[in-house]
Chain A
Amino acid sequence: MTRGLEAASGAPPGAPERRFESIPAAARLAAVLIAAAILMSFARGPIAVGQTTLNGLVSAGYLALGAVGLTLVFGTLRIINFAHGDLLTLGAYLTFGISALGLPFWPAAAVAVALTAVIAYALDFIIWEPMRRARTSTLQLFLVAIGLAIVIRYTIQFFAGSQVRGVGQDVLTSVNLGPFHLGALQALVLVVGVVAIAAVGLALAFTRLGKQIRALSDNMALAEVCGIDTRRAVRLIWLIAGGLAALAGVLYAAAVGSVNPNFGFFILLGLFTAAVLGGIGSAYGALAGGVVIGLAQEWSTLFFNTRWKPVVGFAILIVMLLVMPRGIFGGGRARS
C-alpha cells in the first residue's frame, strides 16, 4: 500500500520525489517575491510596501484556502467548478444565519464550515457522481457547474436579499504593529489564514489521507490501481473543498467587513488565478498561488488606483494561461 502511494504520488521511476522537487520552486518563488518587495521599497518606501504586504497576506488567506478546493476538484475529477466561488458565499451567509440564531460569530462560522462541507459532499452524491458514471462531456460538466453556481447564489439571495450586509462584528478597532496598522478583525483573519494554510499544507504532506489526495490529483487511474479507494477519497475531497471554501468565505467576510451574495462569484476568477498560477491540480501550488495573487493585488495599489485591483488578478490569469499554462508548481507533465 505504502509503496503504491509512493508510486502514485511520485514522478516517473528514477526521478526525484515530487515533494522535494517542489521545494526549490517554492524557494525560488519566495526569492522572487522578496526581491520584488525590496525593489518596490526603493520606489515607494519600505513602510508602504510593508503595509501593503500585510494587507496582501490578509487576502492571501482566503484566496489560498479557496483555491485549494478548486484545484483538488479539478485535479481529481476534471471539473472546472464554477460553483466553487458560491460555496464561499454559502459559508459566509450560513455563518450569518446561524449567528442570527444566537451563536457567537466564530462558533457559528465553525458550524457553517461543517455544513458547507456536508452540502458539497451531498452535491457530489446528487450531481457529480451520476455524471461521472455517465461519462459526460466537458461541455456538460461546464454547464452543470454554471447552473449550480447560479442556483446556489440566487437561493442565497432569495432568502437573504441582494443588499450589502455587514458582518456584525467590530470592524473599527485597529491594532498597531510598529509602523503598520491593521484592523483587529483583519489581524485575526491573517492569523487564522496563515494557520489554516500551514495546517492544510502539513496535512497534505504528512497524513495518509493527504498523500492519497495528492496521488489521486496526480493520476487518478494510477492511484486506483495502487489500491486507493477512489470513491471514498473523492468524497473526502468534496468535504475538504467545501469546508475550506466556507472558511475562505468567512475570512473574506471578516476581512472586508461586508458582503453581498455575488462576492463568491467575483472572487472565483481570483481563485482560478491562484490555481492556475500554482499549476492546476497541485494543492501546494494553489496555496502558493493564493499568496502570490493576494500580494500582487495589494502591491498593485502602490502604483495604480485601488479600483484596478481585480483587473490585476485577471491579467495575471490570462498571462499565466497564455505563457505558462502549467503554472509554477505544475511540474513537467503535459496535461491535455
Chain B
Amino acid sequence: MSFFDLDFWVGVGIVAGIYGIFTLGLQLNVGFTGLINLGQAGFMCVGAYAMGMLVVDAGWPLGLAFPAAIVIAVAAGALVGLASLRLRADYFGIVTIAFSEIVRYVFQNAAFAGGNQGIIGYDAEWRAFQSWASERLAAIGLGEAAEVPLLVAVWATLLLCLAALRALQLSPWGRVLKAIREDEDAAAALGKNVFAFKLQSLGIAAALATIAGFFLAMNVTYLYPSEFDPSFTFFGYAVLILGGFASYGGVVVGAVLLCALTEGLRFLDLPLSAGQAGSLRFIIVGLILICLSMFRPQGLLGSKAEMQLRA
C-alpha cells in the first residue's frame, strides 16, 4: 500500500475523530472533575447497542434512535454514578470497569442482543445519505474516497463537542467542577452539591461515549461485544495523557497523534505478521502510558498544576 493512499488516511481520520469524541468525555471526568472513569467503553457499548436494537428490532428511524440511545446511556451513567460516586477514587475506578465488563458479557450472552454475531443492518439510512453525499462531493472533485462524508461528520461533531465543552468549562458550572477536582470538601463547604456535579459530569461523558459509539457503529457496519472491551477505554487514556490533562484541545491533538502513530507503523515495512503488528500497536500504547505517566504526567499540552488528583 502506498503512503499516499487516500482511503487509508480517511479511515485513520475517522478513527481518530471517534477516539477524540470518546476521550473528550474522559477528559471531562478525569481532567476536570477528578473522577477515574474506567467504564467509558461500557457506556459506549450501551449507547451503540441501544441505537442498533432500536433500529433493527423496533424499527425506529436512525434519527430518532440515536437521541434515544443517548438518553439510555446517560441513564446508565446516572445509575452507575448513583451507586458508586460516593466511593473512593480508586474503588470508583474498579466499579466502573466491572460495570463495563458486565455490560459486555450481557450483550455477548443475552438472547436479545444477537450474542457474538452482534447486530447488523442498522445503518441503511446512513448508507443512503453517504452515497447521496458522495455524489455531491464527486461533482466538486472530491469523490475518490467513499468514506469522506463520515470523516466530515465525525470531525464536525468532534469540533462542535469541543467548542461546547470549552464553553461549559468557562461557565460557573465548569469552575465548580474544577473546584471539586481540587478539593471536594472545600467545594461542599461553599454550598455546592458535589455529588450532583459529579453525576452530571459522568452523564455528559456517557452521552459523548454514545456519540462516539454512533460513529463507530457507522464505521464498522456491525456491532459485536468485543469491540467494547476495556482496551478501548485504555486507548482513550493513552490519548488523554498524550494530549495532556485538563485540556480539551489536547484530546484532539492526542487522538490524531496516537492514531497516526499506531496506524502509520504499517509503513515501516517491519518483518512482522499481521498479528504481531497488531500487538506492537498495543505495546506502543502501553509504553506511552507508562513513560508519559512517569516522566511527563501532564502530557503534551496539559498543565502540571492541574493534575494533583487525590485519592
| Interface membership of B172, Cβ < 8 A | no
Which residue of chain A has the shortest Cβ distance to B83 in the bound complex? A322
| Interface membership of B140, Cβ < 8 A | no
Interchain CB contact under 8 A, B279 and A150: no
A272 CA / B101 CA spacing, docked (Å):
13
| Interface membership of B132, Cβ < 8 A | no
Instruction: Flag B16-49 by CB within 8 Å of A: 1 or 0 each.
Output: 0000000000000010000010000000000000
Query: Which A residues are in CB contact (< 8 Å) with B90?
Result: 80, 138, 142
| Interface membership of B191, Cβ < 8 A | no
Interchain CB contact under 8 A, B309 and A137: yes
A329 CA / B44 CA spacing, docked (Å):
36
The stretch of B56-64, B143-151, B182-190, B282-290 that contacts the partner chain: B282-290
Instruction: Flag B264-302 by CB within 8 Å of A: 1 or 0 each.
Output: 000000000001100110110111111011100100000
Instruction: Flag B207-226 by CB within 8 Å of A: 1 or 0 each.
Output: 00000000000000000000
New A-B contacts (18) at CB < 8 Å, excluding given A137-B297, A318-B98 = A127-B290, A137-B310, A138-B89, A138-B310, A140-B297, A142-B36, A143-B292, A147-B287, A147-B289, A147-B293, A149-B286, A151-B287, A158-B276, A161-B275, A269-B97, A269-B101, A272-B94, A322-B84
Secondary structure class of chain A's binding surface, majority of residues: helix
Interchain CB contact under 8 A, B287 and A307: no
Say which size band chain B's interface belongs to: 35 or more
| Interface membership of B93, Cβ < 8 A | yes
A-B contact count (CB 8 A): 130
A205 CA / B285 CA spacing, docked (Å):
41
The stretch of B69-77, B102-110, B198-206 that contacts the partner chain: B102-110
A317 CA / B231 CA spacing, docked (Å):
20
Interchain CB contact under 8 A, A311 and B30: no
Interchain CB contact under 8 A, B237 and A310: no
| Interface membership of A105, Cβ < 8 A | no
Interchain CB contact under 8 A, B94 and A321: yes
| Interface membership of B228, Cβ < 8 A | no
Within 8 A of A (CB), among B234-259: 234, 237-238, 241
Within 8 A of B (CB), among A263-302: 265, 269, 272, 276
Distance in angstroms from A335 CB to nearest chain B CB is 8
Sample of 11 A–B contacts (CB below 8 Å): A127-B294, A139-B309, A143-B289, A146-B286, A147-B238, A147-B289, A150-B231, A150-B282, A150-B289, A310-B105, A317-B94
Most central of A130, A146, A318, A325 by chain B CB within 10 Å: A146
Interchain CB contact under 8 A, A148 and B290: yes
Which residue of chain B has the shortest Cβ distance to A313 in the bound complex? B98
| Interface membership of A162, Cβ < 8 A | yes
Interchain CB contact under 8 A, B94 and A143: no
Query: Which A residues are in CB contact (< 8 Å) with B102?
Result: 311, 314-315, 318
Query: Which B residues are in CB contact (< 8 Å) with A157?
Result: 275, 279, 282
Interchain CB contact under 8 A, A147 and B286: yes
Which residue of chain A has the shortest Cβ distance to B273 in the bound complex? A161
Query: Which A residues are in CB contact (< 8 Å) with B237?
Result: 143, 146
Which residue of chain A has the shortest Cβ distance to B80 in the bound complex? A318
Query: Which A residues are in CB contact (< 8 Å) with B95?
Result: 317-318, 321-322
Distance in angstroms from B71 CB to nearest chain A CB is 23
Query: Which B residues are in CB contact (< 8 Å) with A125?
Result: none
| Interface membership of B166, Cβ < 8 A | no
A16 CA / B290 CA spacing, docked (Å):
43
Instruction: Flag A313-336 by CB within 8 Å of B: 1 or 0 each.
Output: 011011001100100000000001
Report which of B88, B94, B280, B297 forms a contact with A136, defined as CB distance below 8 A: B297
A138 CA / B35 CA spacing, docked (Å):
11
Given A144-B289, A317-B98, CB of A325 within 8 Å of CB of B87 = yes
List the 7 shortest-distance A-B pairs measured between CB atoms, nearest first. A147-B289, A150-B286, A151-B286, A147-B290, A138-B311, A158-B279, A154-B282
| Interface membership of A169, Cβ < 8 A | no
Given A144-B293, A310-B105, A315-B102, CB of A325 within 8 Å of CB of B91 = yes
Report which of B109, B230, B280, B293 forms a contact with A307, defined as CB distance below 8 A: B109
Within 8 A of B (CB), among A17-46: none
Query: Which A residues are in CB contact (< 8 Å) with B88?
Result: 336
| Interface membership of B122, Cβ < 8 A | no
Report which of A142, A147, A148, A151 forms a contact with B93, defined as CB distance below 8 A: A142
| Interface membership of B193, Cβ < 8 A | no
| Interface membership of B232, Cβ < 8 A | no
| Interface membership of B159, Cβ < 8 A | no
A130 CA / B102 CA spacing, docked (Å):
35
Interchain CB contact under 8 A, A137 and B308: yes
Given A142-B36, A311-B105, CB of A154 within 8 Å of CB of B286 = yes
Distance in angstroms from A310 CB to nearest chain B CB is 6
| Interface membership of A131, Cβ < 8 A | yes
Query: Which B residues are in CB contact (< 8 Å) with A150?
Result: 231, 234, 282-283, 285-286, 289
A153 CA / B282 CA spacing, docked (Å):
9
Query: Which A residues are in CB contact (< 8 Å) with B93?
Result: 80, 142
Which residue of chain B has the shortest Cβ distance to A139 in the bound complex? B309
Most central of A130, A157, A305, A308 by chain B CB within 10 Å: A157
| Interface membership of A174, Cβ < 8 A | no
Distance in angstroms from A262 CB to nearest chain B CB is 9
| Interface membership of A78, Cβ < 8 A | yes
| Interface membership of B66, Cβ < 8 A | no
Query: Which A residues are in CB contact (< 8 Å) with B36?
Result: 138-139, 142
Query: Which B residues are in CB contact (< 8 Å) with A317?
Result: 94-95, 98
Interchain CB contact under 8 A, A154 and B94: no
Instruction: Flag A78-103 by CB within 8 Å of B: 1 or 0 each.
Output: 10100000000000000000000000
Query: Which B residues are in CB contact (< 8 Å) with A151?
Result: 283, 286-287, 290
